[in-house]
Amino acid sequence: MIQKIILVVVLASVSLNITDTRTQAEDLFQDRIAPILERRCVSCHNDRQREGDFSLQTAKSALADGYIEPGHPERSHLLDQITPANGKASMPKDADPLSAKEVHLIRNWIRAGAVWPEGLRLEEARVNNFDWWSFKPVQRTDVPLSDDPWVRTPIDAFILQRLQDKGLTHAAEADRRTLIRRLSFDLIGLPPTPEDTQAFVRDPDPQAYERLVDRLLDSKHYGERWARHWLDVVKYADTCGYDKDKLRPNAWPYRDYVIRSFNEDKPYARFVQEQIAGDALFPGEPDGILGLGFIAAGPWDFIGHVEVSESKIDGKVARNLDRDDMVSNTLNTFCSVTIQCARCHHHKFDPFTQQNYYGLQAIFAAVDRAERPYDLDPDVEAQRRKLDSQVRDRKAELAALQKEISDSGGPRLTELRTQVTELQKQQQVRKDPAFGYHSAIAKTRDSVKWVEVTLGQPSDVSRVVLHACHDEFAGIGGGFGFPVRFKVEVTKDAKDNGNDEWITIADHTQGDFPNPGLMPVEIDCHGEQIHRVRVTASQLAERKNDFILALAELEIRNSTDHRIDLANDAQVTALDSIEAPVRWQKSNLVDGKWAQGGDSALDQQLKAVKGELQSLLAKIETPQRVQRRETLTASIAEAETAIKALPSGKMVYAAATHFAPQGSFRPTEGKPRPIHVLQRGEVQRPGDEVAPCVLPLSLNADWQLESGLSESQRRAELARWLTRPDHPLVWRSIVNRIWQYHFGQGIVTTPNDFGRMGAEPTHPQLLDWLACEFRDGGQAFKALHRLIVTSSVYRQSSDNNEQYAAIDGSNQYLWRMNRRRLEAEEIRDSILSVSGALAPAAGGPGFYLFELEHPQHSPHYEYHKFDPRNPASHRRSIYRFIARSQPNPWMTTLDCADSSQSTPRRNETLTSLQALSLLNNRFNLVMAERFAQRLQQQTTALEDQVDLAMQLTTQRRPEPEEHREFTDFARQHGLTNLCRFMFNLSEFVYLD
């Protein structure tokens, strides 16, 4: 008995130990292993996507097929994938590898038996909270109190507090020459004139600086300067990019819209709304359409849209990428979030899912990029929209009526139409290039057309013979243009007073005449004397959505000898004619040539089938249906005529739903495409269909759009959401961008990414204070500029301080002003300005800096063939025509923005190639000549020319030693070479 008790106790103890061990192993998995798998693996390896045919969501799927071998890490394929080899691991794909500690934990878990708690299902780790600075509400903080005289504005109080927290202080104020250069380039992108510089430096008025700021902000050049920053961000260019890089000849109105908006100091909310949904929110206003150039600003795949059907895989890919560009451009530009990271999987770092991303795509589901008209007169635009709507509605009704008629004909109607098509294909048609007579095109079936033949003198006629045309247009074939209802009339005598009596010899105006195909239509004249023969059509033949009268030949046979055609080469007159030689001239009606079939039996069969078809159509086309069709056709024609009579307006390349089809690229006409979540972003792996939505920036926010919204209403809701006063991202994003362009770096140094992978703000309270000040103060850019540039922190010198540099080497706390090199456009515009070549013309189509070759197929932009002396190219650089795939080499060398991607901040490199370009480029050589000519025209003495050259390029007089060296150089190498040298001065291309 005692032994049995001992045995039971031992077994119970073992059982408890096993249970405890199992529990500990399960706890280890849940606490340490599961979080790694959920955070780094499950987004791709789940039961729905199964990348690599492998899922890590459940024990059953994870422990199958050798991926994980419990107790044997050396045989587990999972470890092979996550263990780095030569510093790189196969998985996670396109992401940082797992840490050595994480790999070690997984290896030990497998070695210990890979315990996986029963029923436990892993889910992708999501950061579902919005506990991140940029997602929190914007808060207007109190301005720090300070009695320091350096504090001129609230900005200075925030900056000074942060400097003091870091053991730093501000630099001295820059001299006035430096300040006017800084202000001029920052606000208008051009150098100040020597006269303006001298006047400002000597001005004793304590408000001289503020008056200078106001003058520059009022300049028309202000919009040209700041529009360039905006166009960098939105990827503007004048070509499409991709393989063919087709021209966009009407992209420039959007560029001019941006310039004008800055110059007019348009409120930012209005500016945003116009660019997302201006047509819906501000109907009839030109800027409501011009602003939509924003949606169309980025690259566009011509081949993927025009040459590939939307039903093909490549066509679907092209359109998916097109919507991706629209979504990413919108969210990057206005919100500074990287939503595009959620195209293939949930965002790895920010709380955005694929459903959020594709819900945003659904907002743009009916939008394409195309030419669309805009008018300067809102009333005209409203009238045009009303007429366009009328045409669409009437055409839809007409199509429904035609379907109703076809359905009434039953299977026999389909059979007859099929037989006609097949018999026409079998016909061996012989015809001359001179097809026959063709009237002008009419919009309505019951338009009256006539054509007549006049003989030289009255003659006895046995019969009149009509021959129908044959044309492949719209698949019509034989009988092309032959009248549906008509009559044939003749006159007997030749009278000079024009009062000839017309006698009807054939009347087919009361019923539809069967299409004769290629069979002749003969009218017996019984030897009567005839002078003129007229064919009058009272109901025309349909061509394709329009109507015509066409005849291949009109014969007038002699009653004595039937072989003689009296009409041959006779006089032909008509109400109208398209006169398109050689095919459709009036003279073709009497040239003895007409289309003929090679098989009379086949022709007879075709005639019989067409006759039966005509008879069937006559039965099902009731008088009511015929009247309805004629009414609809007339209404369409009337509306289209009225549209043509309206002022044509202008065209802009913008977001559009209605446009002229081009190949496989056809308008949606406002009908949104269905949008599905794409597994791994692949169009061949569609998941659930999604409804349009905005981002759930608060878990309690209403972020789903109402169902049933039209295409434009969807965009309108997005525009309203973006400009909500409580939007946490939009107001921070724009003031951060403006701050960056003034100081060289933003308060957030990642201007397109306010998410967890972006930088945090160096001055968060200042950022929010600026956002509130801008949002609540009228959203005026000029007021924001004025606030920033009148601050003491902006007026600092850029002098270095080794002690402070050791604390804050990147100057993120602004203990001095940042020195910067001029951007490529500023350098080019400055060269034009100081040389006296800068043309004042603003706006309009972009000027070329290249020779354009093969524009209709695959354009080539030949920069080396362009002559920089061409005065048309001497305008400001913002007006240049920007080719996306072949950017200007000189501008690119100077770190110009790449228009194929958003450029929120320009690179600033220093290379020998830049110096060589500024020294030897043909543009610089030509402008050096112009600069020398200007100097010689303004003053005669070489010493004075050197002095003026220095003032124009650097806004100061040369030092005595500089003056002597420059003068000696000019005497030895010529004034032009000195000017060339001046363009390479660091003082010329650098501020401060």
Q: Which of 649, 712, 657 is nearest to 279 (CA)?
A: 712
CA distance 533 to 619: 32
| Average pLDDT rounded to a whole number, residues 160-166 | 97
- Beta carbons within 10 angstroms of residue 39's beta carbon: 17
Whose structure tokens read 């021209």? 247
Structure tokens at 883: 């080719």
Q: Determine the pLDDT at residue 10.
A: 42
The confidence band for 686, taking pLDDT boundaries of 50, 70 and 90, is: very high
What is the C-alpha radius of gyration for the chain, rounded to an integer number of angstroms? Answer: 39
| Average pLDDT rounded to a whole number, residues 212-225 | 98
Residue 366, pLDDT > 90, answer: yes
| Average pLDDT rounded to a whole number, residues 376-405 | 82
Residue 66, pLDDT > 80, answer: no
CA distance 480 to 516: 10
Residue 4, pLDDT > 70, answer: no
Would you kindly state where each structural domain of the chain is located, as residue ranges?
20-112, 154-219+733-807, 437-598, 821-991
Residue 413 backbone dihedrals phi, psi, to 5 degrees: -60, -45
- Beta carbons within 10 angstroms of residue 509's beta carbon: 16
| Average pLDDT rounded to a whole number, residues 553-567 | 90
- Beta carbons within 10 angstroms of residue 126's beta carbon: 14
Strand partners, 528: 461
Residues 747 and 758 sit within 8 Å (Cβ to Cβ): no
390-411 b/e (C-beta count within 10 Å ≥ 16 → b) = bbeebbebbeebeeebeeebee
Q: Determine the pLDDT at residue 125.
A: 57
Q: Which of 540, 573, 577 is nearest to 554 (CA)?
A: 573
37 backbone φψ class: left, alpha, beta (φ>0; ψ -120 to 50): alpha
Residue 469, helix vs strand vs coil: strand
Single pTM value for the model? 0.74
CA distance 680 to 901: 22
The confidence band for 182, taking pLDDT boundaries of 50, 70 and 90, is: very high
| Average pLDDT rounded to a whole number, residues 901-930 | 95
Lowest-pLDDT choice from 525-534, 701-710, 887-896, 946-955: 701-710
Residues 107 and 79 sit within 8 Å (Cβ to Cβ): yes
Task: Give tens-digit pLDDT for 842-856.
Answer: 999 999 999 999 888
Q: Which of 281, 274, 193 is nearest to 230 (CA)?
A: 274
Q: Determine the pLDDT at residue 717.
A: 96
Task: Give tens-digit pLDDT for 631-682.
Answer: 888 888 888 888 888 887 789 999 999 888 999 999 999 999 999 999 888 9
Q: Which of 309, 317, 324, 303 is nearest to 246 (CA)?
A: 303
Residue 128, helix vs strand vs coil: coil
Residue 434, pLDDT > 50, answer: yes
Q: Determine the pLDDT at residue 472.
A: 81
Residue 139, pLDDT > 50, answer: yes
Q: Determine the pLDDT at residue 12.
A: 45
CA distance 745 to 732: 15
Structure tokens at 781: 């850019």
Residue 327, pLDDT > 50, answer: yes
CA distance 461 to 566: 8
Whose structure tokens read 């690119």? 892
Residue 537, pLDDT > 80, answer: yes
Task: Give tens-digit pLDDT for 298-320.
Answer: 999 999 999 999 999 999 999 99
Residues 758 and 750 sit within 8 Å (Cβ to Cβ): yes
Q: Determine the pLDDT at residue 535.
A: 97
Residues 296 and 369 sit within 8 Å (Cβ to Cβ): yes
CA distance 446 to 634: 9
Structure tokens at 786: 């004025």
Residue 805, helix vs strand vs coil: helix
Whose structure tokens read 């002003």? 817
Torsion of CA 832, 833, 838, 843, to 10 degrees: 110
- Cα first-last separation, the chain: 100
CA distance 965 to 987: 17
Q: Kindly state which CATH superfamily the domain 437-598 is placed in.
A: Galactose-binding domain-like (2.60.120.260)
- Beta carbons within 10 angstroms of residue 857's beta carbon: 9
DSSP string, 933-950: HHHHHH--SHHHHHHHHH
Residue 157, pLDDT > 50, answer: yes
CA distance 338 to 330: 10
The confidence band for 16, taking pLDDT boundaries of 50, 70 and 90, is: very low
Torsion of CA 133, 134, 136, 139, to 10 degrees: 90
Task: Give tens-digit pLDDT for 67-85.
Answer: 788 888 778 788 878 887 7
Structure tokens at 947: 């002095």
Mean pLDDT of the chain: 89
Residues 257 and 293 sit within 8 Å (Cβ to Cβ): yes
Q: Determine the pLDDT at residue 20.
A: 57
Residues 963 and 946 sit within 8 Å (Cβ to Cβ): yes
CA distance 715 to 941: 65
Q: Determine the pLDDT at residue 591.
A: 92
Residues 126 and 76 sit within 8 Å (Cβ to Cβ): no
Q: Determine the pLDDT at residue 92.
A: 78
Structure tokens at 381: 């635009």
Distances (CA, A) of 224 to 185, 219, 262, 831: 12, 10, 8, 17
Q: Determine the pLDDT at residue 2.
A: 57
Give the residue with greater pLDDT, 128 vs 475.
Answer: 475
Q: Quick one: what percent of the chain has pLDDT higher than 90?
A: 64
CA distance 754 to 733: 8
Number of H-type helices and E-type strands within the chain? 33, 22
Lowest-pLDDT choice from 364-378, 625-639, 671-685: 625-639
CA distance 168 to 171: 10
Q: Determine the pLDDT at residue 926.
A: 97
Residues 338 and 332 sit within 8 Å (Cβ to Cβ): yes
Residue 473 backbone dihedrals phi, psi, to 5 degrees: -55, 130
Whose structure tokens read 């098989």? 599
Residue 700, pLDDT > 70, answer: no
Give the residue with greater pLDDT, 421 vs 346.
Answer: 346
Q: In 3-state terms, the chain is what percent helix, strand and coil (to 5)?
A: 45, 15, 40
